[in-house]
Copies of this chain bind each other. A is one copy, B any other.
Amino acid sequence: MGTSAQLHSEKAGTYHSDVQSPVCSVQDFYHHPELGPGDLEQIARAHEYQQLSRGTMLLQEGQHANAYYCIGSGIVRSFATNPSGKDITTGFTCRGQIAIEVASLFLGVPTKENFQTLSDCQVWKIPLISFHKLFNQIPAFASWGREWMSQALLMYKLRALRMITETAKDRYLRLQREQPELLQQVPLKYIASFLGVTDTSLSRIRKEIARGN
């Protein structure tokens, strides 16, 4: 690891995430006031626990998503590929979050996004078919889903808005403030394209910040 390791880590690091306990159980992903213990058990049974090694592709452009993943530990990067060949990081999914390609999964279209683990990960995987059953059998699960989607929609709206209203530096400072762990575990180039700049520019932005805002 480069400069960021020198600045932030106790010892010369790697991009592998530090060892950290996973989220306790898959039930932690489904908090909702109307979901009772019985519901949660039924939901939990629909998931399969998996250990994935770094670099695993969960989903590749052109495929049809048929499951989503609750991330117990590790980091997943999603990215889209430009016609000109470059890949643009569209998001990071961390511990406690859900890695999912909504459009492909729920609209049945081939995905335009790729999902790749950036570190060894512990995940709970649930197939679409199981999700669908739960959605129809447990009204509170459908409500949970609607709220999750609302939250996700809000995040993407905010992201689009911030791409307009904030400078690249603003966006970097926000990321540093809100998800500092990403800066320590993810190569700069992925951070850069996620923020909408080149790695060269991000490097200069960091330098400027280091000199004293």
Contacts and interface: CB of A to CB of B under 8 A. Distances in A.
A154 B107 contact: yes
Contacts of A102: 150, 153-154
Interface stretch (A1-9, A54-62, A159-167): A159-167
- Interface range on chain A: under 10, 10 to 19, 20 to 34, or 35 or more? 20 to 34
Contacts of A107: 147, 150-151, 154
B164 A153 contact: no
A77 to B, nearest CB: 14
Given A142-B142, A156-B153, A157-B90, A164 B106 contact: no
B193 A164 contact: yes
A160 B88 CA distance: 11
A136 interface: yes
Nearest to A196: B164
A200 interface: no
A156 to B, nearest CB: 4
A153 B103 contact: yes
Nearest to A106: B150
A129 interface: no
Contacts of A164: 88, 163, 193, 196
Contacts of A151: 103, 107
A149 B149 contact: yes
Interface string A127-168: 000000001100100110111011111101101110111000
A159 B88 CA distance: 14
Interface in A55-84: 80, 82
